[in-house]
Amino acid sequence: MSMTFSGQVALVTGGAAGIGRATALAFAAQGLKVVVADVDAVGGEATLGLIHESGGDGLFVVCDVTHDSDVRQLHERIVAAYGRLDYAYNNAGIEIEKGRLAEGSEAEFDAIMAVNVKGVWLCMKYQLPLMMAQGGGAIVNTASVAGLCAAPKMSIYAASKHAVIGLTKSAAIEYAKKGIRVNAVCPAVIDTDMFRRAYEADPRKAEFAAAMHPVGRIGKVEEIASAVLYLCSDGAKFTTGHSLTVDGGATAI
């Protein structure tokens, strides 16, 4: 089944690299205008450059999703440029802590929750009224397999991703009759800069990360992008409130 899209404008937060960049490029390849948002201006402009090189249309907006004013201005820029927002991928997030729960700091807790939870909440706070006014839309939030099960030595991160799933399901029910679908994608370990920072210093950890997936490898950013596009596409018109695992079988064990 080919993916088809009813609208014309997509937003990707955390679009400067990794899964966000891959998803922005995938949206552009479908002919959508793509708004890339990130705190990393260099990476964000690079993503936009790749979109333009492929013949696509879009814009980059510097945005810290933990600040209401930034998120509000992001969506105002989208309306000013394109007049609507059809698809939103709320992907901005920060990485896991590296110790047991009692070893964590208040600063770690606040930072992870601010980006991973407050950031998703703020983005949906502005996306939902905009989509209601135009008659519908689709939102996908980045959760994680860590939002579906226990995650030893990354309890704060796991709690943040459980919260994303809670926000996703609640918004899906609240806005189901408004023509807005809200879903989440739950990746396992994916080959990103975040993965390399966590594992490449110790090849044994990288080998363990691959082995934890029954398929025998970690995931690719393009595989998550494909899942996001499916959830936004007309092929998923009857899907809302769902957390789609893209995990190489990790949660099936």
Establish whether 157 is a catalytic residue: yes
48-107, pLDDT tens digit by residue? 999 999 999 999 999 999 999 999 999 999 999 999 999 999 999 998 788 999 999 999
176-189, pLDDT tens digit by residue? 999 999 999 999 98
pLDDT band for position 205 (cuts 50, 70, 90): confident
Q: Please tell me what DSSP assigns to residue 238.
A: T
Which pLDDT belongs to residue 113?
98
Which pLDDT belongs to residue 2?
60
How far is it, in rounded angstroms, from Cα 59 to Cα 78?
9
Q: Please tell me what DSSP assigns to residue 7.
A: -
Mean pLDDT within 216-225: 95
Six-digit token string for 117: 């939870």
Catalytic residue among 87, 126, 157, 175: 157
CATH of domain 9-189+220-248: 3.40.50.720
- Name 120's Cβ contacts closer than 8 Å, sequence gap at least 6: 65, 90, 141, 164, 167
Six-digit token string for 48: 């936009």
Break the chain down into helix, strand, coil percent, rounded to 5.
50, 15, 30
How far is it, in rounded angstroms, from Cα 39 to Cα 43?
9
First-last CA distance in the chain: 29
What single-letter amino acid sits at 212?
A: M
